[in-house]
Amino acid sequence: MSHHKVRFSQPPPLWLQKLDRLAWPFAVLLGLVLFAFLYRRGYDDPYITYRYALNLATGYGFVYNPGVATLSTTAPLFGLILAPVALVGWPLPLVANLIGCLSHVAGALALWRLGRLWRDELAGAAAALLYLLFPLPLTTLGSETLPVMALTLWVFVSAAQGRQWLTGALLGGLVWLRPDGVLAGPLALLLLAFDHNNWRDWRRWPWVATLVWASIVACGLGLAWLFYGAPLPVTLYVKQQQALIPGFYDFVDRLQVTLNGYLRQPLHQMVFTLSGAGVLAALRSPRWFVPIGWAALYGVAYTILHVAGYFWYVAPLVVGLAPAFGLGVRILVDLLRRMGGKRLAIAGAVLVLGGVAVWLSGSVYRIGQQIDQRLAVYRAAGEWLAANTPPEASVATLEIGIIGYYARRPMIDFAGLLQPDIAARLGSGGFPAAAQYAIEQYQPQYLVLQEQALPLLAGRPDLAERCPVIAEIPDPRFSAPLTIHQCRW
């Protein structure tokens, strides 16, 4: 299968050639700068994957609770990548944040590369700028979200270059980095088929990329089925059950709340206005419909799946927002050029992109200062459990990520991520009903509770007597401390 590369009708300007050569070193440097601002960030959910990596490195296998084969992480490849890090003893949360920062800059670089390949440098540069500094994706730092977004964009770069083997391999890895990565496959294959007019000859259709992609996915499905008894993580069912809890956000609710929050600010109003114009402009630049279409397909898929609405599910939509904004900037600059010539066009571009850069840079800085208080509270609880309980002691709590990672004890999850039978109680009775069921069914030896967030003992004096408080962790989120209880059954 021959590979076709996009060629310029004339050599690109010297400054662009120099910029291409410096792109990756500059990207690494920029990623390290981001890491310096954001390294303290984190939230509970990624710690589930960290514990999979830690257990694999310490010989327990790729499981959360040793001896229990349940796939409760949506990012198995991310866990496998982190396992060698755990083996050498480096702190997984810190390394995951570094990977996230480098991935994020790599995603911006991919948009720049698409602009170069498609001879639309202004749109690519504007898209890269917005992608890099838009705050929402950076709030997911520590999880697989930023690597997934970056790999999705590099799949499209590879497809735009006509590289079938690489595109298929990246698509296969993307599915195991997170299952929704399968959505990139059809669009990447279409890009391979149409971007170089390969569709005219069936022998040049993307057969190789399709075969490589399907082979990697099939191998992963087979291994998962053999080891876990199911090909996919249990988390999809759990998140769907959570969406059924009365008053709980689903994906569409979270998207609406997120958009409303951004649209209260004038600069973001401008960003979304230009992005809307950019979507229309994509009708004349159909290649850009690939990342924009991916975002649309992603949103439709999550709406149909009807999962609970978490911010890390909404963040990947920036993969489509950024190129739409880039096209909108290009439209604006072209309009200014027709109205007042080259100088006005340059002034308009500098004003818009400079304003976006300055404003959003402040947002990035503020994200680095907004540290989730659960990181310290839950870590303290986990470390107390690790120091004061037997290694085989079971612990039940609502959020198992950080506590379970540091406690290294068998965990029982009120949200059902580890025990799907618990998740089945969520839709009818919410977290209180699921927690009561988990306690009665599994009879944990220890409980970690925040009664003000999830009151379980106030209406159960028998349970309060059976499970007295043995430790308290100061919790700045509430007036009452986080409590650890020892139960006698």
Same domain? For 245 and 388 the reply is no
Same domain? For 162 and 235 the reply is yes
Averaged over 29-37, what is the pLDDT?
96
Categorize the per-residue pLDDT at 4 as very low, low, confident or very high, splitting at 50, 70 and 90. very low
Does residue 9 fall inside a structural domain? no
The residue with greater pLDDT, 177 or 17, is 177
Same domain? For 272 and 406 the reply is no
The string of pLDDT tens digits covering residues 278-318 is 999 888 888 999 999 999 999 999 999 999 999 999 999 99
Does residue 6 fall inside a structural domain? no
The string of pLDDT tens digits covering residues 36-89 is 999 999 999 999 999 999 999 999 999 999 999 999 999 999 999 999 999 999
Same domain? For 271 and 365 the reply is yes
pLDDT above 90 as % of the chain: 87
The residue with greater pLDDT, 173 or 427, is 173
Q: Which of 347, 369, 391 is the last residue of a domain?
A: 369
Does residue 3 fall inside a structural domain? no
Same domain? For 344 and 390 the reply is no
| 408/389 Cα distance (integer angstroms) | 10
The pLDDT of residue 15 = 65
Of 262, 233, 220, 299, the closest CA to residue 45 belongs to 233
Same domain? For 270 and 407 the reply is no
Number of independent structural domains in the chain: 2
| 454/366 Cα distance (integer angstroms) | 30
Does residue 142 fall inside a structural domain? yes
| Tokens matching residue 186 | 């059809």
Same domain? For 311 and 441 the reply is no
- In three-state secondary structure terms, 484 is strand
Same domain? For 223 and 237 the reply is yes
Same domain? For 159 and 212 the reply is yes
274-301 as b/e: b if 16+ CB within 10 A: bbebbbebbeebebbbbbbbbbebbbee
Same domain? For 334 and 405 the reply is no
Same domain? For 221 and 300 the reply is yes
Of 171, 183, 137, the closest CA to residue 313 belongs to 137
Cα dihedral across residues 449, 65, 306, 184: positive or negative? positive
Does residue 2 fall inside a structural domain? no
DSSP H helical segments within 73-206, as ranges? 76-87, 92-117, 121-133, 135-138, 145-160, 164-177, 184-194
Does residue 399 fall inside a structural domain? yes
The pLDDT of residue 194 = 84
Q: Which domain holds residue 196?
A: 14-369
* CA 225 vs CA 67, 138, 209, 416: distances in Å: 16, 33, 24, 20
Of 138, 175, 156, 178, the closest CA to residue 30 belongs to 138
Q: Which of 369, 394, 418 is the last residue of a domain?
A: 369
Lowest mean pLDDT among 8-22, 197-211, 241-255: 8-22
